Structures are given as structure tokens and as C-alpha cells.
Amino acid sequence: MHRVILAALGVAICAAAAFAEVAAQEVRVETETLIVSGSGWTLQPLANGKKAFANREYVWIDLPRDTSAWRYTQIAGGEPAVVAVEALKDTTVYMACTVANPDERFADWSSVAGVSLRYTDGGRTRLHVYARKLKTGERASLPQGTWAGSLLLLGLEIEGTLERLPYNNPGLKVDLGVGLWAWPLPMDTDDDGDLDLVVSCPDQPYNGIYAFENPTGRTAPRAWMLGLDGGARMPVFKAARRLSRSPSNVQVSYVDGEPRVLTPATIHPAFKQAGTAQGVKIEGENIKANIHTNGVRANMWRFVDYDDDGSQDLIVGVGDWKAYG
């Protein structure tokens, strides 16, 4: 019995040593747009039913459609890995990780809404997808630190080889379009007495908080809005000014006539100057970013005097999509 245990232990130690040796080896892969280097990973196809991690029997499930050409940097869960990229041409880099609330390590990465990966652990962990634009010659390292690490996704980087066509409207002065899921936030950003247009775009390819200045000086009078004063009914805004990257669920409330911008469990007091780059956590009993028992899609926070006592309360609207899978 002891001999069997010792033999098994010896095999385990040898296997661990072998993996450590492999993990320490430098890996380098070159694609049309990227040089990928580091250690502790191998490049593997991303497909349903395929093994997700080198040291577990978990397999990929419920992957997005049309991932047959994707590859990813497969690691051993819980083991150190280094994944670095260098752009051979302007491109967008994609990665997947379990971090749902990104910290300062993700400052240059933006969330890709509506795309996630799953594998067959007990809780069917979700990996969120993030994107980062790189200029030719620019380098970046994928933030690590969780059991599942950060996995580089290859196959999506082909976007960087495509030429973006100019919008076919030569007479257009200012394009108010900012990309997918444009959330309008009307407010007077320059304090000149008129309403400007701020738009939150949490998706791709133009993630950001954009401020369009209204130079006319007029928005409030109803007569002007209806065109009864002989003036232009709608202002021609100035070109956009990007304030910051944009998370999802940016909401504006008005308190004593002043805009107050919230994201889940966070207020952004310097929003007019810095967008959502600066935030202050909202403190209170049972306050957390997701007040729902399930993962939610919409998670919209606003101030309102709900009980008419003269003080501002919090109201949260959530969209529970559990019934849709």
C-alpha cells in the first residue's frame, strides 16, 4: 500500500515538474497582425466540446456562433501564465476572462457587450470578452490574476486588416452616431445655459462617452423647440469630444436642476470633465452593484425622491434574462 502511494506521489511530482518546465518555456506565435509571446500556454482551437484548460476536464459549451476559426491561448487553470502581444499593424486585440467588474488593470480595455464564453465547471463560469485597440508597434500584456487567467482570442483580430470606408454623406457636418447601443444623456456640459448632447456608447467599435456641444445657446424655450420664433428647430452640434471609455448602464438624474450621473453603485461627480473615468462608490445598507439574485442585463441606477421627503433615494431598474438562457 505504501509502495503504491509513494509511486503515485512520485508520478505526480514528476508530472508537476514536467508542467513547470513546459510553463517556463517561452512561446512565440506570429499572425498577420500580431506577435504573441509569453509562457504557460499553448494555442488551441476554440470549439464546443473541446478541453478548456490544460489541467482540467472542463470543456467549452454554448460558445457564440461562428467560432470555428477562432483560436485561444489555453493555460492550466490556477497556474501562472504570461501572454503579451505586439501589433504588426493597427488592429484590435480581444481577450476573455472572468472579471466582471474591471479595475485599473483594464484601463485600456473595453467590454464587448453581448459576447461571453462558458465552460463546464460546477457553476458554468462565464468569461467576459474585452477589446483593446493597438497601433502598429504597440505592445500590451493581458492582465492575469484569476484562476482562469486572461485568454487571448485569435481569429477576431482580422478586423485590423479591413479598411474602414468613409460614411457616404459628403454634405454631413457632424455625425451624431457613436456606435452600437447609444445611450443619450442630455445636459449642459459647458454651463452656457443650453442643453448639449452627451452619448454613452458601451459597445464596439467606438466605445466611449462623447460630448456634442450645442453652440446655438438655445434649447429651453418651448417656442424655439417648436420653431415658432423663426429660428432653426434643431441645433447643429459641434463634433464630438470623447470624455472617457464607457461602461454599460450610464444614467443621468437631475437633482436641483443639476445632472447627476450614475453607473451601478457608483456616482461620477466630475462627469462633465472626465466622463466615467472617476467614480465614487455609493455607500449604504445592502448596496451592491447587482442587487438582483441573478446575473442581469439592464442595471440602471437613478436618483429620485421616491417618498417625497425632500431627500434623494435610489431607484434601480434591472433586466433579468434568465428565462432566455
Distances (CA, A) of 119 to 59, 61, 122, 243: 5, 5, 9, 36
pLDDT in tens, 223-254: 444 555 555 456 788 989 999 888 889 999 99
Distances (CA, A) of 4 to 8, 9, 14: 6, 8, 15
Our separate counts of H helices and E strands in the chain read 3, 21
In this predicted structure, the answer to whether residue 222 has a pLDDT above a threshold of 60 is no
In this predicted structure, the answer to whether residue 75 has a pLDDT above a threshold of 60 is yes
Entry pTM: 0.51
* Torsions phi, psi for 324 (to 5 deg): -95, 5
Q: Which residue pairs from 188-196 have beta carbons closer than 8 angstroms and sit at least 24 positions apart in sequence? A: 188/259, 189/213, 189/272, 192/217, 193/217, 193/220, 194/218, 194/219, 194/220, 194/235, 195/219, 195/220, 196/237
Do the Cβ atoms of 141 and 120 come closer than 8 Å? no
Do the Cβ atoms of 317 and 251 come closer than 8 Å? no
pLDDT in tens, 182-214: 999 989 998 888 888 999 998 877 788 999 998
> How sure is the predictor about 159, in pLDDT bands with cuts at 50, 70 and 90?
very low
Least confident among 20-24, 64-68, 122-126, 173-177: 20-24
Buried b (16+ CB within 10 A) or exposed e, 256-283: eeebbbbbbbbbbeebbeebbeebeebe
Q: Give the count of alpha carbons within 13 A of 247, CB side only.
A: 27
Q: What is the pLDDT of residue 207?
A: 84
Q: What is the pLDDT of residue 226?
A: 52
* Spatial distance between the Cα atoms of 252 and 257, rounded to a whole number of angstroms: 12
Q: What is the pLDDT of residue 227?
A: 52
* Spatial distance between the Cα atoms of 239 and 197, rounded to a whole number of angstroms: 11
In this predicted structure, the answer to whether residue 126 has a pLDDT above a threshold of 80 is yes
Q: What is the pLDDT of residue 325?
A: 58
- Ordered by start, the domain boundaries in the chain are 21-161, 183-324
Q: What is the pLDDT of residue 177?
A: 78
Q: What is the pLDDT of residue 5?
A: 36
3-state helix vs strand vs coil in the chain, percent to 5: 15, 35, 55
* CA end-to-end span of the chain: 49
In this predicted structure, the answer to whether residue 19 has a pLDDT above a threshold of 60 is no
| Mean pLDDT, all residues of the chain | 82
Q: Pick the residue with more confidence: 251 or 9?
A: 251
Q: What is the pLDDT of residue 121?
A: 86
